[in-house]
Structure 1
Amino acid sequence: MQIVNIGNARLEHLEDLHLTHDQYNMVLSSFFVAYAIFAVPSNIVLMNTRPSVWIPSIMLACGIILICTAAAQNFPQIMILQFLLGVFEAGFFPGTVFYITKWYKNNEENLRISLFVSAATITGAFSGLMLFSVATFFDETNGLSGWQWAFIINGTLTCVVALFSFFLIPDSIETASWLTKEERKLAIERLNHEQSYHHESYIERHQILDAFKDWKIYMAMLLYFCILAPLYSFSISISSFVNGLGFNALYSQLLAASPFIFGSCSSLIVAITSDRAGVRGPYLVGCLLVSILVFFGV
């Protein structure tokens, strides 16, 4: 939601910063450069610290940076803030996915991770609508523009959730206070034969080298790159694209919400149906083919 906010904010007087087109693109790129550099180190830290501390901490840092973004006055300031946002947000998504795998069996993870991804997707729809509402009702309040209030509110909500997470997220099944002794024992027994449950650390040197030697890792990286490159370009620019067709800011945000809503629903449908069918490949290929056709159509 944070990076999509920049794209939506462009419709709500982000030009207060007097960014050129190239500078705007550099601001967006700074986030992804930091994200790519710090994703792996962040998750190495996660594996060697307490998830109940690390995950809320990077959430809290993201919230503080979002609030600070409202105070940005020029290109260097907002670029540095977006870079820092990428540094701390880099570990959240993969870290949370890794955390989920420590609680469920392999054949149960797909739907749970899809629920998490769907939640992340649906925020893209509400991000634009929230930004428009805040920009409409709070614009020029206390001398701040609507886009500044949007970052302040978004950052404040993130900080509040992060603070609660310090007390709600357990480190593991063994430390989950909301499980009874019998439930904890049953949960552990269910995962005794799961490889991911028994791996406490993945930072041994030979494991890192094995990862770099595994051709499947590079194929997955290539596939993920080919998916995310157009996806993020679409997510960030869709509001401006629709606005360029002649729609006002409100209709642009409303129309831009529909792909996120459909994407969230389709993610859950594919997860459920692929679980029942017991296969992944055909569904993955089918989804990619649909995406290719849509991008060609656009």
Structure 2
Amino acid sequence: MPSPSPSSAALEKAAYSKVTWRLIPFLFLCYVVAYLDRVNVGFAKLQMLADLKFSETVYGLGAGIFFIGYFLFEVPSNMILHRTGARVWIARIMVTWGVISSAMMFVSTPTTFYVLRFFLGVAEAGFFPGIILYLTYWFPSARRARVVALFMTAIALSGVIGGPLSGWIMQAFAGVHGWAGWQWLFLLEGIPSILVGICVFFYLDDSIAKATWLTDAEKQLLIANISRDEGSRADHSLKQVFSNGRVWLMASIYFCFIMGLYGISFWLPQLIKTAGVKDVLNVGLLTMVPYGLAAVAMVLASRSSDRSGERRFHTAGAGFVGGVGLVLSGLFGGDVTWAMAALSLATMGILTGLPLFWTLPTSMLRGTAAAAGIALINSVGNLAGFVSPFMVGSIKDATGSTTAGLYVLAASLFLGGILVLLATRGQGRVSPLAASASRT
């Protein structure tokens, strides 16, 4: 392709800068409140299990059963979003899960715990793959690693702010109006999802063409880039998507990576406590460290991948780093300093691999097939969110330690990295962005 003229390059840079600043901070906020509601059960566990006399296995099953509901309704939800638009459907998702998340304060038995976690998964199904699909409407594949990473640093930020916030709520509100700290945690962290969900309806635009904040010239340029990008991808029927071996291979890779993610997300507070930190507020403060470092690593690695056009070794390497970190976490789990260093390395590798991974399947599919394919990969991959906490909880009940569970999670990340290398063997680089363009 011929090089763009200086004037068109300037227009393109300005247009993508405008789109990035308009969409990413708001979507980032949506994901922060989503992720807090999904994993705050990890902090509630520090008090809830003793109050309700739950075993580690009950906790692991309840934490993981969220992903059964998530799995069952993921593909239908994304198909509805593709037809109705992100504005209405993402708003519906967020308001519904905010209500159910707040209702978690009324958990009193294992059954109510399981039921509410299941329906929380049903309510949230479609949010993450819906946003990934939505970003493909705005950004071509060459720009996608960085914007997805910026969006997904919300996972890291939710850990940075969610840890101290959760610890403070549980400590400061314990006993207020006769409610336990964990009950206040669910209530207060569920309300923002409802409020932000209402804002989604008024803020998001379903497509480039409907964005009144873009000029006609900017719209034409962005639409042309998306059309050119989609023209390089095959158009698949839904039947072909569900029978496509590469789609299922991508789902398997994502399953391996998600095993590591939810091992960290649901067990990081407990691992820090086990290392010797007993005060719940201090546990919350220390969770900031791994997530803060991971946020930096995610942005730097994705920027490197976009600039070079290299996806394969960036993605696989992140999985290998995460696996090494988990192995070291098991070896040095009794020492706070070494445990924090190992958990930081693990969190950096795990979280960095996720946005890099999503550049692979989104470069394969388009249109309705993209909606179904992304949802299928995400839903199958997120079954690891059920397997991971349940497995670690069962191992801890059986052995009295999480160490063996961490080694299994590490093996999963190593396998994911190997599968990435196999799945992308012979695959060329995407067209790298110019340095100036990658900074938009």
Normalized against structure 1, the TM-score is what? Answer: 0.91
Separation in 2 of the partners of 1:36 and 1:140? 36
Equivalence for 2:230: 195
8 Å CA contact 1:111–1:272 kept in 2: the answer is yes
Separation in 2 of the partners of 1:218 and 1:50? 26
Q: Which runs of 5+ in 1 are unaligned?
A: none
SS class of match (1:192):
helix
Structure 1 position 238 matched with structure 2 position 238: no
Distance verdict in 2 for CA 1:196–1:149, change over 3 Å = farther
For residues 69-112 of structure 1, the C-alpha deviation after alignment (integer angstroms, 9 at most, x for no partner) is: 11222221121111111112121111101001101122111111
Separation in 1 of the partners of 2:132 and 2:259? 20
Equivalence for 2:131: 96
Separation in 2 of the partners of 1:21 and 1:273? 41
Separation in 2 of the partners of 1:64 and 1:53? 17
1:87 to 122, 125, 129: 122
Separation in 1 of the partners of 2:49 and 2:102? 15
Separation in 1 of the partners of 2:185 and 2:257? 29
For residues 228-280 of structure 1, the C-alpha deviation after alignment (integer angstroms, 9 at most, x for no partner) is: 11220222011112212221222222223322222221111110011111111
Separation in 2 of the partners of 1:198 and 1:213? 17
Equivalence for 1:295: 326
Separation in 1 of the partners of 2:267 and 2:70? 19
Separation in 1 of the partners of 2:182 and 2:231? 43
The alignment of Structure 1 onto Structure 2 pairs a total of residues equal to: 293
Equivalence for 2:294: 263
Structure 1 position 52 matched with structure 2 position 87: yes
C-alpha deviation, 1:182, in angstroms: 4.0
Equivalence for 1:38: 73
**Higher mean displacement: 239-248 or 252-261:** 252-261
SS class of match (2:106):
coil
**Higher mean displacement: 16-25 or 42-51:** 16-25
C-alpha deviation, 1:197, in angstroms: 12
Separation in 2 of the partners of 1:274 and 1:100? 18
Structure 1 position 26 matched with structure 2 position 61: yes
For residues 45-68 of structure 1, the C-alpha deviation after alignment (integer angstroms, 9 at most, x for no partner) is: 111212110011101111011111
Equivalence for 2:391: none
C-alpha deviation, 1:172, in angstroms: 1.1
Separation in 1 of the partners of 2:306 and 2:159? 26
Map 1:172-251 → 2, pairs under 5 A: 172-195=207-230, 207-248=237-278, 249-251=280-282
Distance verdict in 2 for CA 1:126–1:197, change over 3 Å = farther
Task: Read off the aligned partner of 1:67 and give its amino acid letter.
Answer: S
Normalized against structure 2, the TM-score is what? Answer: 0.63
Task: Read off the aligned partner of 2:124 and give its amino acid letter.
Answer: E
Structure 1 position 139 matched with structure 2 position 174: yes
8 Å CA contact 1:32–1:86 kept in 2: the answer is yes
2:160 to 125, 145, 156: 125
SS class of match (1:19):
coil
Separation in 1 of the partners of 2:260 and 2:231? 31
Distance verdict in 2 for CA 1:63–1:269, change over 3 Å = same
SS class of match (2:237):
helix
8 Å CA contact 1:70–1:151 kept in 2: the answer is yes
C-alpha deviation, 1:198, in angstroms: 11
8 Å CA contact 1:35–1:89 kept in 2: the answer is yes
C-alpha deviation, 1:13, in angstroms: 4.2
Structure 1 position 156 matched with structure 2 position 187: no
8 Å CA contact 1:102–1:196 kept in 2: the answer is no
Separation in 1 of the partners of 2:233 and 2:302? 26
Task: Read off the aligned partner of 1:242 and give its amino acid letter.
Answer: I
Separation in 2 of the partners of 1:49 and 1:125? 34
C-alpha deviation, 1:291, in angstroms: 1.4
C-alpha deviation, 1:127, in angstroms: 1.6
Separation in 2 of the partners of 1:27 and 1:135? 20
8 Å CA contact 1:38–1:87 kept in 2: the answer is yes
Structure 1 position 77 matched with structure 2 position 112: yes
Equivalence for 2:151: 116
8 Å CA contact 2:49–2:59 kept in 1: the answer is no
Separation in 1 of the partners of 2:95 and 2:211? 22
8 Å CA contact 1:39–1:90 kept in 2: the answer is yes
Structure 1 position 283 matched with structure 2 position 318: no
Separation in 1 of the partners of 2:199 and 2:169? 24
Q: Which runs of 5+ in 2 are unaligned?
A: 1-35, 330-440
Task: Read off the aligned partner of 1:47 and give its amino acid letter.
Answer: H
